[in-house]
Amino acid sequence: MAKSNKKAMEKPEQREAILDAAFRCFARHGYRRTSLADIAGEAELSRPALYYYFRNKDDVFHALSQRINASVVAAVTKAAIEQHGDMEARLYAVLEARVSWAFDLLHASEYGRELIDEKNRLCGKASAETNARFTGVIERIIERGVAEREIALSRLAMKASEAAAFIVDCLGGVVGEDVVTEQAARQRLRVLTRMFVGSLQRAGR
């Protein structure tokens, strides 16, 4: 069957149901121990029916990761639009939205660390594109902080774009390889935000 015809015959709701089933399997068994047979069984499908939608386990996980990326973009956009509170609160809200998927995985499964690593392995390009958009959001938050005299960026001898890229690079440490719980990740994110904003606050604030 031609690829275009196959896509036309796919049922979006069935595809989403398969991804939901796959997430349950990955959360229960981890990436390495989950098989296509597990996913098919969880979705109440035959193996041939599952192959109609996905070629292999990597294909399933990649699609699941794309769905996560889409939800991250939506969460970051929402946080960027709302922008309540002082600069620390505004920055934390957006940073939290960016790494919320990792928090969710660490909370949902004892295999959260493994799932985070696999997502980064399989979706490096998509993550890079998401990061590029995210860096722009952080840059605008910094520029607003400077304009409203909440921070003095001159202390870093950096442009807003450079400072934003630096913060995004630091996020890797928030969910680094040694972080295995949601609580630990959230604490690191709070410390990162407080250190950045606190070091740049103007005297008297």
The CATH code belonging to domain 72-200 is 1.10.357
Window from 41-45, 92-96, 177-181, 185-189 with minimum mean pLDDT: 177-181
**Contact criterion met (CB below 8 Å) for 22 and 66:** no
Please tell me the pTM assigned to this model.
0.78
Q: How many CA atoms does the CB half-sphere of 108 hold within 13 Å?
A: 18
- From CA 138, how far away is CA 135, in angstroms rounded? 5
- From CA 185, how far away is CA 173, in angstroms rounded? 9
pLDDT in tens, 86-130: 999 999 999 999 888 888 888 888 998 899 888 888 877 667 777
Domain segments of the chain as ranges: 11-54, 72-200
Tell whether the model's pLDDT for residue 161 goes beyond 50.
Answer: yes
By percentage, how much of the chain surpasses pLDDT 90?
53
Tell whether the model's pLDDT for residue 203 goes beyond 60.
Answer: no
Residue 72: CB atoms within 10 A of its CB come to 20
pLDDT of residue 126: 67
Q: How confident is residue 202, by pLDDT bands cut at 50, 70 and 90? A: low
Residue 154: CB atoms within 10 A of its CB come to 9
Residue scoring higher pLDDT (68 or 54):
54
pLDDT of residue 10: 65
- CATH of 11-54, picked from 3.40.50.720, 3.30.565.10, 1.10.10.60, 3.40.640.10, is 1.10.10.60
pLDDT of residue 156: 86
pLDDT in tens, 6-60: 554 568 899 999 999 999 999 999 999 999 999 999 999 999 999 999 999 999 9
**Cβ-proximal residues to 157 (8 Å cutoff; 6+ apart), any chain:** none
Tell whether the model's pLDDT for residue 135 goes beyond 80.
Answer: yes
pLDDT of residue 5: 44
